[in-house]
Structure 1
């Protein structure tokens, strides 16, 4: 009588378990978010009611808990300074004196964006526009491969910059200058 042997492919089973866990975590998180949205708006999705407190689109401030602690977008320059001082103290306690000195020396320069209107802070802190332009130039130069000399590479980059400056992409307003004008008027009236 032949012996029955059962063989299991361990990799297939691990893959299926991983997908099962991923799917159940995703489903749980989506249900939690759905329940929270219903609680906040006092209405289910697409429900029209007099008790509705708001709409489901948009966002609000939340804390993100990481292994390094709670992360929050800073409300003021003072709060950012206090957070930076706490980081410096923590680095000192970890005996990382050079890192603490670097952070301490760069606090004011890093917080320069706080001198501008609050609405401009995210635009000033990030360099998304420059990164997008650099990716576009990198993409164009990779197509060519090798250039005969530096001038031909420079001419290609300049031609791309001229094109961007002359199109809608170059004409987009990155910041609403009305906020800055209002801040300058307030400063001139106060001063």
Structure 2
């Protein structure tokens, strides 16, 4: 579940049980500090409110994979499968988003998200210019950066505490689970 000892009860657990029927491992990590989780949720809602949800999910998947976070990668692959893509399309995206039939702007956005996730300080003007060349406005570029940096925080916490992906993700097709779990930079499966 996690490297940390977590409480048996938490206000976070009650809400998850009511909504999802189980307590996700990421909530167990945050159970001793529910106010941190609540603040992260509010920040996440604010970031997402400025983006198209499909783009947010593609950005988050690219970031999670680059960060080696199987947990976050699986969670966002599940959303993409549930809301936006069929299995064959998602397979192609996780295999090679550049050759998956996505619009060139989506490929560029995912490439940029991966770059920001890997090395925010290494992002240069030409990286931003490439997005502008696809018609992505500066406020949209900022939204992508915010979404990736939000993912860097959450994925980092889950990875550093050894939070294992929940069994609910076992319902994803095995090849998609394997591809997302073995994404770029995959560390120890979190």
Q: Greater relative contact order: 1 or 2 (C-alpha under 8 angstroms, separation 6 or more)?
A: 2
The normalised TM-score by structure 1 is: 0.21
The normalised TM-score by structure 2 is: 0.21
User: Greater CA radius of gyration, 1 or 2?
Assistant: 1
